[in-house]
Amino acid sequence: MVSDGCVYRRCGCVEPATGRQYGRMIACDISGSMGAFTGPVASAAWILARAASALPGAVIATVLYGRNVHALTHPGHAPAQVTEFAARDKTEWFCKAADALDGALGLSRPGTARLLINVSDGHYVAEDEIAGAQQRITRLAKSGCGVIILRPDTPWRGHDWKDAQVITLTDPAATIEVIARAATRALTG
């Protein structure tokens, strides 16, 4: 991920009035089973990026993960329109996405209000991906980063995540509202 946003230069973004730094990061699984959520996640990413551009100190980034990690929105950049994407990958590498966001944006660095929202059914097929994902979620939670997993209501349950708030989504169209409410709760309370 490359950006001119101040986060990538590690200087941090600070709200002048309070000195408070805060960030929301979204990671979205783009394996084939997540197709119904691409539109709502794309819209949520655009809305959050546009809102962040008007708030000093707000850092927002969205990545998509399947076999690789792709940036959908970059900190400091508010896209003019929603960037659509497809969910066609045959695997999902959450660990790569979490490592990319943490390395570039300091999710595990204390002193700021941080939140990672993972939109995924949690049905990871890669060997050791669930164990690695749980390790990263626990590490982020212990550093003070809130972790929310938005899991579609599917016939398979996926992993029972620890150290994260898990919200089951029955309607893909509710994704935007659920992200907004969960993010507000996590970062203000």
User: Which tens digit of pLDDT belongs to each residue from 86-101?
Assistant: 999 999 999 999 999 9
- The 10s digit of each residue's pLDDT in 27-54 is 999 999 999 999 999 999 999 899 888 8
Banded pLDDT at 189 (limits 50, 70, 90):
low
Q: What value does the mean pLDDT take over residues 7-17? A: 31
Number of other residues whose CB lies within 10 A of the CB of residue 142:
11
Give the pair of three-digit tokens for residue 86. Answer: 């497809």
The model carries a pTM of 0.86
Q: What value does the mean pLDDT take over residues 5-23? A: 38
Given the DSSP bridges, would you call strands 69-73 and 113-119 parallel, antiparallel or unpaired?
unpaired
Residues 6+ apart with CB under 8 A from 91: 31, 66, 67, 124, 125, 126
Given the DSSP bridges, would you call strands 69-73 and 58-65 parallel, antiparallel or unpaired?
antiparallel
Rg, the chain, Cα only: 15
**Burial of residue 188, with CB atoms counted within 10 A of its CB: 0-12 exposed, 13-18 middle, 19 or more buried:** exposed
pLDDT at 19: 44
What type of residue sits at position 14?
A: V
**How far, in Å, CA of 168 to CA of 161, rounded?**
12
pLDDT at 129: 93
pLDDT at 150: 93
**Rounded to 5 degrees, what angle do the CA atoms 13, 14, 19 make?**
160
Mean per-residue pLDDT of the chain: 83
Structural domains in the chain, CATH included, are: 19-188 (3.40.50.410)
Evaluate whether 60 touches 73 at the Cβ level (below 8 Å): yes
